[in-house]
Amino acid sequence: MTAASLGIAVVLVLAVGGTLGAQVTPPKPKPKPAAAAPSQRCIFQIDNVDRQGAVNETPTGTNYYAGGNVRLSCRGMQISMQSDSVAAYGGNVVQFIGNVKYRDSTLSMDADFGTYYKSGERWEARGEVDTKNLKTGSTLTGPSLDYYRVVKGVRDTLEMYAVGRPKIRYFEADSAGRRPEPYLIVADRVRFKGNDRIWAGGKVTIDRSDFAARSDSMRLDTGMGSDGTLLGGDPLLRGLGTDSFRLSGKRIDMALEKRELSKVVAKGQGHALNRDWDLVADTIALDLKDRKLERTRAWGKGTRPYAVSPSYAMRADSLALDSPGQLLREVRGFGQAWLGATVDSATKERDWMRGDTVIARFASVDSSGKKRAVLSRIEARSAAQSYHLDRNAKAPERPSINYARGEVITIVMKDPAAGGVERVDIRGKVDGIQLEAAGDTTAAPADTVKSRGTRR
């Protein structure tokens, strides 16, 4: 076949809108384009070529080359591809070079290079890739993206894979048409499935106005699952804003409610920190409402929950801290619970209470124009014990020691401005001991115990 005949054959193929990869034969009458095949497989048709193309016959099939504003589409479907030039090999692999654009009913994609593989109905974009999900508004920019479109009998959900540390603005799908704030996600590699599931690996970071997180890998389901997980690399999640907090552990699970972060759980060496307390435990769960911390729970045997604040420390088999309205209201310890007051500067010891259950309640006071929580009442239940040091002005390093036991011990604090203890109530079988700072150590029977309050 001569070059002249090749040119005529190419013109004929273009004139009739032929499919890429078809053998070049003398022109024959062609039927009208058929509707989309039930399999939704792409049958290419040429919509425009500014410059004459070329055809090369090989043992494996026909190769086709064309340049100048090349536009192709999938017959009967809302799929189009465009580039400066194109090369098709055997009708199965089509390469697009320069100013590449891909469009379908789900997404738009611009890149430097693109390749379509008919065998798997897969589109590969390379170079400066810029992709937008037309249904959710999510975007991805990076050097590489593989896109597997929905094809009946092949896959029922779109999938995408990106490497080279892509940057993603990930909007949650919302059937009501609202556009919530996006997650800003960066990772070494990312996988998408559908419009609401994403996996990421390698130095993952997630940022939004209400929280920021990092880990080695991440899973996020903003659809039916409404949850997510951070794993590896000592994952960390920080709540931002006026009620800021920091949560870390070996694994962090997230729950979403109405597309907002509603619960985060750190498992394995959990550590939580906010303005009121510093908490460690095997497992720590934070409940959030309207992007504010409402409740904290902690439990574990390897690392028993231990919370520390400027005014107290508390340990138990499990702890619960309530902080509605961003202010600490109550702390409850269950199972060998212990609560210690501020460390005494002279003796380096704490007053403390213990029992099977210890409950500490807090009042709200203004401090420099800001509200803060201060202890107002402490109650120890079931085999309750209390330990108190009375300062000795003459010998600060040798205070008097008061130790008491009962079924229930309740301490009521004075007005926060005054400070100190107002009343101590001990109920049930009461006994104790008073060790004086000066003179001989004296053990007093229960009915003569020196107490800072009343005994019942």
How far, in Å, CA of 298 to CA of 270, rounded? 9
**pLDDT given at position 124:** 96
Would 272 be classed as within a structural domain? no
Is there a domain that residue 313 lies in? Answer: yes
Does any domain span residue 199? no
What does DSSP say about strands 454-455 and 421-427: parallel, antiparallel, or unpaired? Answer: parallel
- Judge whether 205 lies within some domain: no
Burial class (CB in 10 A: 0-12, 13-18, 19+), 26: exposed
pLDDT score, position 390: 78
- Other beta carbons within 10 Å of 31: 5
Residues 77 and 36: beta-carbon distance below 8 Å: yes
Indicate which CATH number applies to the domain containing 353.
2.60.450.10
State the pTM of this model. Answer: 0.81
Task: Give the structural domain span for 414.
Answer: 309-456
2-36 residue pLDDT tens = 333 223 233 323 333 344 443 333 444 545 544 43
Q: Is residue 445 part of a domain?
A: yes
Q: What are phi and psi of 203, to 5 degrees?
A: 50, 60
For the chain, the domain total comes to 1
Q: Where are the alpha helices (DSSP H) in 175-318?
A: none
Phi, then psi, of 208 in degrees rounded to 5:
-155, 170
Note the pLDDT of residue 61.
81
Q: Is residue 400 part of a domain?
A: yes
pLDDT of residue 439: 53
Q: What local confidence, expressed as pLDDT, does residue 286 receive? A: 95
pLDDT for the residue numbered 399: 75
Give the pair of three-digit tokens for residue 162: 């990106």
The 8-class DSSP code of residue 158 comes to: -
Residue 444 lies in a domain: yes
> Is 24 among the domain residues?
no
From residue 202, how far is each of 13, 78, 142, 171, 186 by CA, in Å? 48, 35, 15, 21, 9
Q: How far apart are the first and last CA of the chain?
A: 114
Chunked in runs of 10, what are the mean pLDDT values of the chain (456 residues)?
31 36 42 48 90 83 90 92 93 93 95 93 96 93 95 90 96 65 95 94 94 96 92 94 88 90 95 92 94 93 92 93 87 95 76 94 76 85 90 71 92 76 89 71 42 39
